[in-house]
Amino acid sequence: MLSDIFTRNRVWSEAMVADDPDYFRRLAAIQRPEFFWIGCSDSRVPANVVAGLQPGMVFVHRNVANVIHSSDMNLLSTLEFAVEELAVQHVIVCGHYGCGGVRAAVAERTQGLANHWIEPIRRLAQRHSAELDNIAEEQARLDRLSELNVVEGVARVAETPILRAAWARGADVAVHGLIYGLRDGRLRNLGCTVTRIRG
């Protein structure tokens, strides 16, 4: 019920103040997160919770299957604010195993706008069909596609004018690719970090 949310909120805010009377006053004064998180909207992968970060520590953008569309104004404006105003040091593209959006991309039966949204994943699967077709087990194949989607996302973020401009002026910012396991609650580094792009 909606009223439960207000009850939970009151309990939480009172507990925070009981622990640290200045907590909200300090948090309200300034926002200086070190991380910008681009993740899936999946309710099981909340950035703050899975990364163990308190309010104020991570700036967040989430969409279905953490797809990076180069012309997504929502993502681009959030990314620009994170890099130029907040000066985050780490941009994290985080996918997850068991992603319903990734599954839908290759299922051929998704309708409507969601189908259009995940089109880049469908093309990605076609581009990597040689590798994916060699994975016999379906979930393992989808999980590999989730990883490829993250690696692709990192490359796309790194190619935006926002990151290129940041690196051109010598900003200390890196783009990382992570994947989260729903089954074990663990984050893994996919080892595709980009710290700058030449040329």
Catalytic residue among 40, 94, 144, 176: 40
Q: How many residues bind Co ion (CB under 5 A)?
A: 4
Query: Which candidate in 61, 96, 122, 176 is catalytic?
Result: 96
DSSP the chain: -HHHHHHHHHHHHHHHHHH-TTHHHHHHH----SEEEEEE--TT--HHHHTT--TTSEEEEEEGGG---TT-HHHHHHHHIIIIIS--SEEEEEEETT-HHHHHHHHS---HHHHHHTHHHHHHHHHTHHHHHT--SHHHHHHHHHHHHHHHHHHHHHTSHHHHHHHHTT---EEEEEEE-TTT--EEE-S--BS----
- Catalytic, 40? Answer yes
Per-residue contact track with Co ion, 35 to 64, x per CB under 5 A?
Answer: -----x-x----------------------
According to CB under 5 A, which one of 50, 93, 99, 145 is a site residue for Co ion?
99
Residue number, 59 or 97, with CB nearest to Co ion: 97
Pick the catalytic residue: 8, 25, 32, 44?
A: 44
Q: Which residues are identified as catalytic?
A: 40, 42, 44, 96, 99
Which residues of the shown chain bind Co ion in the complex (CB under 5 A)?
40, 42, 99, 101
